[in-house]
């Protein structure tokens, strides 16, 4: 599978995640304004992919001249919750005194690192899963999309599935559709289909019932920001899954690169949670599904307390707060 985000001919090229699963196409982003728009529309999304977008965005701004620091600030604030975005911007910006080529070289090195780190984190997590879950083959549950599409390549939580599937250890994956924007049914299901991994899409509300029926050996989740105490911000619904998993004695494993850890945040309650447009809930496929003027609560993420998480696993191993 090609990289989700890359640099080509002086521009940023992304796989357009809004078009999937209907169409697999790329978008070429030639300005910071186009990049910020793509980030906010979720054409590029997922914490590690946002880190790459941040770094490449600074490279783009540096080549185009103007007030690079102001442009970098605009990119870093395009979405608030995934720390990787600001991390990617900051790491690339550090090279600005050495010139635009140095910024681009740094951004490209970060893209290369992303796949290596995700492969290592998910390999570590696969061992944690095998240690925590006796049944073979495994029945896993996935929320949102933490696969190739959420990273430059490979994935984090879904990367665990790739490792285990290669060893013949995956029976099937239950895919939470992940309302309201359906990153599960649109993107994760598409990736599993491409990879030939058996899966079933389920409404988010079915996850607790699946656990109660004994259909889930382990829940796998990614992360957008991990606080110093091990609390994890991830796609809305993750917290409820963790509560259900704890209630049913199902291991709940979070997988992320260390770039998602934010030691400056003491606890998850301090994480800035993005609120998205009401239309994401009041409309579905362009049709209105709530009364005109309906008030809406639409947080894009929630925070799962560390106490509910079996292990947070990075490329360095199990995270210790």
Residues marked active site are found at 224
Tell whether 46 is in a known binding site. Answer: yes
CB of 251 to ligand MRU, least distance (A): 18
SS3 at position 188: helix
Residue sitting closest to ligand MRU (CB): 222
Contact between 180 and ligand MRU (CB under 6 A)? no
Q: Rule CB under 6 A: which of 233-252 touch ligand MRU?
A: 234-235
Residues 6+ apart with CB under 8 A from 293: none
Query: Three-class SS of residue 301?
Result: strand
Closest CA to 48 of 3, 84, 6: 84
| Pairing state between β 283-284 and 287-288 | antiparallel
79 labelled binding-site residue: yes
Cβ 210 vs Cβ 216: under 8 Å: yes
The three-point CA angle 321-250-254 to 5° equals 35
Nearer of residues 95 and 118 to ligand MRU, judged by Cβ: 118
Residues 50, 106, 60, 72: is their CA dihedral positive or negative? positive
Binding-site member from 15, 38, 47, 201 for ligand MRU (CB under 6 A): 47
Binding mask 141-160 for ligand MRU (x = CB under 6 A): ---x-x---xx----x----
In whole angstroms, give the CA distance from residue 135 to residue 105.
45
In this chain, which stretch among 6-14, 201-209, 219-227, 310-318 interacts with ligand MRU, using CB under 6 A?
219-227
Whole-number minimum distance, CB 47 to ligand MRU, in Å?
4
Residue 161, sorted as left (phi over 0), alpha (psi -120 to 50) or beta, turns out to be alpha
Per CB under 6 A, 48 contacts ligand MRU: yes
| Identity of the residue, 104 or 181, whose beta carbon is nearer to ligand MRU in the bound complex | 181
Residues that bind ligand MRU (CB under 6 A): 42, 45-48, 82, 144, 146, 150-151, 156, 183, 222-224, 234-235, 300
* Binding-site entries for substrate: 45-47, 79, 183, 234-235
């Amino acid at each position: 599978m090609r990289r989700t985000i890359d640099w080509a001919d002086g521009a940023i090229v992304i796989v357009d995640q809004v078009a999937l699963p209907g169409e697999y196409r790329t978008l070429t982003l030639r300005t910071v304004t186009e990049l910020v728009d793509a980030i906010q529309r979720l054409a590029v999304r997922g914490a590690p992919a946002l880190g790459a977008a941040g770094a490449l965005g600074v490279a783009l701004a540096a080549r185009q001249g103007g007030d690079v620091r102001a442009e970098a600030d605009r990119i870093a604030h395009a979405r608030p919750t995934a720390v990787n975005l600001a991390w990617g911007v900051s790491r690339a910006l550090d090279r600005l005194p050495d010139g635009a080529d140095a910024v681009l070289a740094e951004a490209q090195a970060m893209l290369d690192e992303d796949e290596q780190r995700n492969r290592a984190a998910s390999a570590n997590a696969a061992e944690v899963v095998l240690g925590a879950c006796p049944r073979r083959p495994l029945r896993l549950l996935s929320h949102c999309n933490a696969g190739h599409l959420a990273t430059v390549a490979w994935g984090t939580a879904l990367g665990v599935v790739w490792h285990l599937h290669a060893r013949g250890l995956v029976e099937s994956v239950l895919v939470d559709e992940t309302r309201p924007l359906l990153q599960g049914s649109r993107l994760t299901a598409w990736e599993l289909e491409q990879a030939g991994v058996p899966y079933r899409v389920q409404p988010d509300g079915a996850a607790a019932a699946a656990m109660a029926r004994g259909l889930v050996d382990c829940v796998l989740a990614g992360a957008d920001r991990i606080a110093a105490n091990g609390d994890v911000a991830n796609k809305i619904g993750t917290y409820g899954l963790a509560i259900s998993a704890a209630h049913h004695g199902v291991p709940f494993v979070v997988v992320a690169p260390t770039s998602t850890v934010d030691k400056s945040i003491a606890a998850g309650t301090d994480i800035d949670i993005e609120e998205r447009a009401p239309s994401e809930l009041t409309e579905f496929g362009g049709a209105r599904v709530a009364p005109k003027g309906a008030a809406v609560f639409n947080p894009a993420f929630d925070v799962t307390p560390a106490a509910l998480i079996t292990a947070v696993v990075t490329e360095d191993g199990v995270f210790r707060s």
